[in-house]
Amino acid sequence: MRFSRKRLGAVEAKLDRIEAGVLTSIVGDLLELLGDDDETEQDPLAALVGMPSGPVERPADPALARLLPDAYGDDDEAAAEFRRYTQADLRAGKRESATVVLATLAPLLDRGGKVLLDREHQDAWLGCLNDLRLVLGTRLEVTEDTEFDPGSDDPREQALHVYGWLGWLQESLLASMDPGAR
């Protein structure tokens, strides 16, 4: 799979059914990690205006914390208050992008085929691919020194290959996007 630029700012890629299946599976995992809604309890007035009623705590899961980072690394109280105003929308945006990717992949699960992405879908795919890499990189504890072809004796071998493939997809999509369409 490699993205290429088409006319009118669209990009296209051909996926086989295995590629579509792998992407569908890991995007589904991402949606599960993000959850349906914040589990914070709301008072009725706060619910009316669409925000949690109190500070929102940093996620305990390191991968989710990577997706929803602290705005203030040295001030827990300010970070929690900032989350109160932003986390629900950030999660919703990430879920929306993942849902767009799943909808695009659904027709390809049986036989593979071509994906044609307009400008809006390109942004959703870029965001989702980035989120997938952040989660997988956190789970695999990827650093600058990580060996991406560790050998078959490493239990992370396949996951590291998927991580590399996601990076390659992201780079391919970015390179094929029309810079004038932004």
Per-chain mean pLDDT for the chain:
86
Q: Looking at the predicted structure, is the pLDDT value of residue 45 above 60?
A: no
Look at residues 14, 24, 3 and name the one whose alpha carbon lies nearest to residue 126. Answer: 3
The C-alpha atoms of residue 9 and residue 27 are separated, in whole angstroms, by 25
Q: Looking at the predicted structure, is the pLDDT value of residue 67 above 90?
A: yes
CB neighbours (10 Å) of residue 147?
A: 9
pLDDT at 44: 55
Where do the structural domains in the chain lie, given as residue ranges? 4-181
pLDDT at 83: 84
Rounded to two decimals, the pTM is 0.85
| Position 39 confidence tier, pLDDT thresholds 50, 70, 90 | very low
Average pLDDT over every residue of 160-164 = 92
Burial 27-59 (b: 16+ CB within 10 A, else e): beebbebbeeebebeeeeeeeeeebbeeebeeb
At 95-149, the pLDDT tens digits run 999 999 999 999 999 999 999 999 899 999 999 999 999 999 999 988 888 777 7
